[in-house]
A and B are shown apart, each in its own frame.
Chain A
Amino acid sequence: MTSKLNYLIGVSLKRKIKTKWFIIVNLLLAVAIIGIVNMDNIINYFGGDFNKKQVIYVIDNTNKSFELFSEQLEITEKGFSQSEDSSYELKLYDKDIESARKLIEKEKKPWVIVFDDDPNTTIAVTLISEGYIDAIDYQLISSSINNTKVGLAIETSNLPIDEVINLYSSISIEREYLDEEKLSDEENMETIMSTMFPIVILPFFLLVIFLVQMIGAEVNDEKSTRGMEIIISNVSPNTHFFAKIVAGNLFILLQGSLLLLFGGLGFLIRKLIGSKGFFQGFEQNYLSLIKKVLANGISNQLIYIIPLTLILMIFTFLSYSLLAGILSSMTTNTEDFQQLQSPLMLVLLLGYYLSIFASFFKGSIFIKIFSFVPLISAILSPSLLILGQIGLKEILLSIILNFGFNWLLIKYGLKVYKVGILNYSSKGLWKKMFKALKD
Chain B
Amino acid sequence: MLKVSNISKSYGHILAVDNLSFIVKPGEIFGLLGVNGAGKTTTFRVIMGLLDAEQGEVTLDGKKIDYSVTDQIGFLTEERSLLTKLTVIEQCLFYGTLKGMTKEQIISRMDLLLERFQITEYRERKIKELSKGNQQKVQFLTAIINEPKLLILDEPFAGLDPINVELFKKEITEMAKQGSMIIFSTHRMEHVELFCEKIVVLVKGKTVLEGYLKDIKTKYRQKNILIKGNLIEEDIKKIDGVLEIVKRIDDFEIKIKDEKVVQKVFDKLKNIKGITKFIVEEPSLNEIFLTKVGETYDQ
Contact = CB atoms under 8 A, between A and B. Distances in A.
Interface of A: 1, 4, 7, 11, 15, 221-222, 225-236, 422, 428
A27 B216 CA distance: 68
B98 A4 contact: yes
Given A4-B97, A7-B97, A422-B50, A233 B83 contact: no
A428 B12 contact: yes
Interface of B: 12, 45, 48-51, 67, 70-71, 73, 75, 77, 79-85, 94-95, 97-100, 142
B226 to A, nearest CB: 43
Contacts of A228: 81
B89 to A, nearest CB: 13
A234 B98 CA distance: 6
Contacts of A236: 67
Contacts of B79: 226
Contacts of B48: 229, 233
Contact of B50 (A4, A227, A232): A232
B280 to A, nearest CB: 46
Contacts of B73: 233
27 contacts: A7-B97, A222-B83, A225-B80, A226-B79, A226-B81, A227-B82, A227-B83, A228-B81, A229-B48, A229-B50, A229-B75, A230-B75, A230-B142, A231-B98, A233-B48, A233-B49, A233-B70, A234-B67, A234-B70, A234-B71, A234-B95, A234-B98, A234-B99, A235-B67, A236-B67, A422-B51, A428-B12
A226 B84 CA distance: 10
B158 to A, nearest CB: 13
Contacts of B12: 428
Contacts of B51: 422
Nearest to A237: B50
A439 to B, nearest CB: 9
A228 B142 CA distance: 14
A269 to B, nearest CB: 36
Nearest to A233: B48
Contacts of B95: 230, 234
Contact of A225 (B67, B83, B100): B83
Given A222-B83, A227-B83, 15 more contacts: A4-B98, A7-B97, A15-B85, A225-B81, A225-B82, A227-B82, A229-B81, A230-B75, A230-B77, A233-B49, A233-B70, A234-B70, A422-B45, A422-B50, A422-B51
